[in-house]
Amino acid sequence: MNVMVKIGLVSVSDRASQGVYQDEGIPALLSWLQSALKTTFITEQRIIPDEQPIIEKTLCQLVDDLQCNLILTTGGTGPAIRDVTPDATLAVADRLMPGFGEQMRQISLHFVPTAILSRQVGVIRKQCLILNLPGRPKSIKETLEGVKDSQGNTIVTGIFASVPYCIDLLEGPYIETHDHIVKAFRPKNASKSNL
pLDDT at residue number 121: 98
Going from the first residue of the chain to its last (195 residues), give the mean pLDDT of each consecutive group of 10, the final group possibly shorter.
86 89 94 97 97 98 98 96 97 98 95 94 98 95 92 90 97 95 90 64
Q: What is d(CA 118, CA 104) in angstroms, rounded to the nearest whole number?
A: 9
Provide the Cα torsion 70, 144, 174, 45; round to 10°: 30
pTM (two decimals)? 0.95
pLDDT at residue number 17: 86
pLDDT at residue number 154: 84
pLDDT at residue number 14: 87
Range 5-194: architecture per CATH: 3-Layer(aba) Sandwich (3.40)
pLDDT at residue number 146: 93
Residue 45, classified by CB atoms within 10 Å of its CB into exposed (0-12), middle (13-18) or buried (19+), is: middle
Q: What is d(CA 69, CA 167) in angstroms, rounded to the nearest whole number?
A: 7
